[in-house]
């Protein structure tokens, strides 16, 4: 774990009953009319698109979006988090899938709701529409868990994004590293496979940084982060400091 230069700007995380600072809107029909959480100053010069984890709009994830939007006053950002699963995220109580019933439910949900071939073109369309409607030209991309995999796949040479950060990404594939063409930050937890992450890192030829939080579980910066635990809360804050640093440097 590495101390973040921006950590001093990250406000103490709210452990319970977090009240989001942003609002919800609906993207235009050309972007599939997705309900979208929007936060940060309307006149911000840059923006971030968030691809959440499979659990959707959880308070920890919404709080993270607010941190990325406003915690660094010298670099305010407009942050957009569409509801990619359209009101039907994976129920958190199915995790971990440690019974046959849970495994069946999770497998069925992934097949029906989380196919990469469905989401990749839709996300590309959404960011193009947002660029047009907001007038903001420079965008960064953030992904958690499942969204981390998606964000990596959207960070190739033709990417609409100038920089990418992924937190505890799922399905880390070394082969994906060859295609990364944007400054890339990966924040793995102790549940990610060191071998896969190491091989992925070797394949990335451009700007990259990998910072491990081996004492944390997969999802600690999103829906599975137990912010009532002081150790998790401190790691959550430091992780967001790293993400802020990354975009401060590359966006």
Angle between helices 146-153 and 116-134 in degrees, nearest 10: 70
User: What's the Cα-to-Cα distance from 193 to each of 117, 189, 226, rounded to whole Å?
Assistant: 24, 9, 22
Strand partners, 231: none
Q: What is the mean pLDDT of residues 122-137?
A: 91
Give pLDDT, residue 5. Answer: 53
Strand partners, 165: 142, 185
Q: State yes or no: pLDDT of 168 exceeds 80.
A: yes
Q: 55: how many CB neighbours lie within 10 A of its CB?
A: 22
Instruction: Please state, in angstroms and rounded to a whole number, the distance separating the CA atoms of residues 142 and 49.
Output: 6
229 against 8, higher pLDDT = 229
> What would the DSSP string read from start to end of 149-196?
HHHHHT-STT-S-SEEEEES-SS--HHHHTT--S-EEEE-BTTS-HHH
Q: Which of 31, 76, 25, 81 is nearest to 56 (CA)?
A: 81
Instruction: Please state, in angstroms and rounded to a whole number, the distance separating the CA atoms of residues 227 and 68.
Output: 17
Residue 221: strand, helix, or coil: coil
Q: Note the pLDDT tens digit of each residue in 41-80.
A: 999 999 999 999 999 999 999 999 999 999 988 899 999 9
Q: State yes or no: pLDDT of 96 exceeds 90.
A: no
Decide if 150 contacts 173 (C-beta within 8 A).
no
Q: Which fold has domain 7-15+28-250?
A: Rossmann fold (3.40.50)
> Domain extents for the chain?
7-15+28-250
Q: Note the pLDDT tens digit of each residue in 208-245.
A: 999 999 999 999 999 999 999 999 999 999 999 999 99
Decide if 5 contacts 241 (C-beta within 8 A).
yes
Residue 68: strand, helix, or coil: helix
Give just the sign of the alpha carbon dihedral 51, 57, 60, 62.
positive
Phi, psi angles (nearest 5°) of residue 81? -130, 95
């Amino acid at each position: 774990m590495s101390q973040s230069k921006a950590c001093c700007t990250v406000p103490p995380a709210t452990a319970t009953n977090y009240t989001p600072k942003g609002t919800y809107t609906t993207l235009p029909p050309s972007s599939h009319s997705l309900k979208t959480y929007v936060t940060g100053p309307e006149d911000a010069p840059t923006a971030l698109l968030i691809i959440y984890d499979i659990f959707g709009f959880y308070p920890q994830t919404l709080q993270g979006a607010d941190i990325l939007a406003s915690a660094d006053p010298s670099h305010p950002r407009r942050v957009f988090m569409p509801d990619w699963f359209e009101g039907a995220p994976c129920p958190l109580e199915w995790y971990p899938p440690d019974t046959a019933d849970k495994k069946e439910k999770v497998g069925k949900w992934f097949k029906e709701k989380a196919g990469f071939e469905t989401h990749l073109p839709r996300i590309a369309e959404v960011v193009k529409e947002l660029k047009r409607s907001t007038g903001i030209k420079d965008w960064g991309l953030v992904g958690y868990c499942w969204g981390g995999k998606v964000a990596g796949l959207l960070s190739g040479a033709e990417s609409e994004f100038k920089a990418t950060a992924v937190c505890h990404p799922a399905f880390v594939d070394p082969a994906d590293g060859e295609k990364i063409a944007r400054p890339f930050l990966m924040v793995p937890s102790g549940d990610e496979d060191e071998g896969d992450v190491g091989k992925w890192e070797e394949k990335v030829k451009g700007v990259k940084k990998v910072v491990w939080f081996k004492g944390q579980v997969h999802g600690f910066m999103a829906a599975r982060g137990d912010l009532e635990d002081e150790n998790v809360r401190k790691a959550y804050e430091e992780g967001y400091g790293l993400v802020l640093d990354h975009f401060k440097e590359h966006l």
